[in-house]
């Protein structure tokens, strides 16, 4: 049983591609060619960031900065609960299907917090950077099936995190507490952008990419899932660098 699972893990497309690239790089590593060394370095980096340990190395510092919200302090229970956009598609069989997995998780977390406190209002924001869909509007439509519509607001024309913070300040000001709901990996950048607008926020992270699990030998093999986690983490680090 263990052998079959291990063999299957090795024969998946990403691990197989990684093994082939590594072998080819080693076979071509002759002399002191800078290009060959660069190729080997790229292959090693690809392998590392496609493994579970590599993905954890990149993502853990982002996702561990803030804890999920258990409850709000008494003075914060009239907050705006701002659900940041997380991507959507222009077509789909339903509003929920058009929302990305991350966006849907953010919506559900926002609704969960809002349901606990009757004086809160949900604010949905975000537009796809291509302008093909409005994730804030889609999130609000879906949330209305679970939450009172009179306590739902939509923030338009926000194509990135910086714009979401700027537009929120213009539309809602700073008179009430602000709870930010977004993916755990995105939260450090979101907090930084809102602070740049003079808005102190209460982080409510969700959509965690890292799932605790017992280590298995196949974790050192490349996988598309781990590569995607690493890519998301690198995207957030770049976003933090460019946020000023």
For every residue of 33-66, DSSP letters joined together read -HHHHHHHHHHHHHHHHTSHHHHHHHHHHHHTSS
Give me the domain span that covers residue 44.
Answer: 2-63+222-242
**CATH code for the domain in which residue 148 is found:** 3.40.50.620
If pLDDT is split at 50, 70 and 90, which confidence band does 40 have? confident
Q: Does any domain span residue 213?
A: no
| 123 pLDDT above the threshold of 60 | yes
Which DSSP state fits 99?
B
Residue 36 lies inside a defined structural domain of this protein: yes
The reported pLDDT for the residue numbered 15 is: 60
- Within a domain: 69: no
Q: How confident is the model at residue 30 (pLDDT cuts 50, 70, 90)?
A: low
CA distance 146 to 18: 45
Residues 87 and 123 in one domain: yes
Question: Does residue 5 carry a pLDDT above 60?
Answer: no
How far is residue 128's CA from residue 193's CA, in Å, rounded to a whole number? 18
Asked if residue 151 is part of any domain, the answer here is yes
Q: Are residues 57 and 79 in the same domain?
A: no
Does 86 score more than 50 pLDDT?
yes
pLDDT of residue 29: 57
Higher pLDDT, 96 or 63: 63
The per-residue b/e assignment along 213-238, b for 16 or more CB within 10 angstroms, e otherwise, is eeeeebbbbbbeebbebbebbeebbe
- Residue 1: the pLDDT is 43
Q: Kindly report which listed range (15-24, 68-77, 85-94) carries the lowest average pLDDT score.
A: 15-24
Domain count, the chain: 2
Q: What six digits make up the tokens of 174?
A: 């700073």
Instruction: Output 7 or 64, whichever has higher pLDDT.
Output: 64
> Are residues 99 and 144 part of one domain?
yes
pLDDT band for position 218 (50/70/90)? Answer: confident
Are 81 and 192 contained in the same domain? yes
Show the tokens assigned to 234: 């690198």
Residue 68 lies in a domain: no
Same domain, 133 and 32: no
**Among 242, 239, 186, 229, residue whose Cα is nearest residue 57:** 229
**Greater model confidence, 191 or 244:** 191
Going by C-alpha positions, the residue among 142, 141, 139, 199 that lies closest to residue 165 is 199
């Amino acid at each position: 049983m263990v052998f079959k699972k291990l063999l299957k893990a090795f024969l998946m497309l990403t691990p197989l591609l990684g093994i082939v690239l590594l072998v080819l790089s080693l076979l071509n590593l002759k002399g002191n060619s800078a290009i060959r060394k660069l190729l080997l370095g790229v292959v090693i980096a690809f392998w590392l960031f496609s493994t579970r340990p590599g993905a954890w190395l990149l993502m853990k510092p982002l996702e561990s900065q803030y804890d999920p919200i258990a409850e709000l302090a008494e003075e914060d229970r009239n907050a705006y609960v701002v659900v940041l956009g997380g991507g959507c598609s222009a077509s789909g069989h339903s509003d929920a299907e058009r929302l990305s997995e991350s966006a849907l998780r953010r919506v559900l977390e926002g609704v969960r917090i809002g349901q606990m406190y009757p004086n809160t209002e949900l604010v949905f924001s975000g537009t796809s950077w291509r302008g093909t869909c409005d994730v804030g509007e889609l999130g609000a439509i879906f949330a209305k099936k679970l939450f009172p519509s009179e306590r739902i607001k939509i923030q338009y024309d926000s194509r990135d995190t910086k714009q979401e913070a700027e537009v929120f300040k213009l539309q809602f000001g700073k008179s009430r507490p602000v709870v930010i709901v977004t993916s755990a990996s995105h939260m450090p950048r979101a907090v930084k952008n809102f602070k740049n607008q003079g808005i102190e926020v209460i982080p409510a992270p969700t959509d965690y990419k890292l799932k605790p699990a017992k280590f298995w030998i196949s974790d050192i093999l490349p996988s598309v899932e781990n590569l995607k986690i690493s890519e998301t983490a690198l995207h957030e680090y770049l976003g933090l660098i460019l946020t000023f």
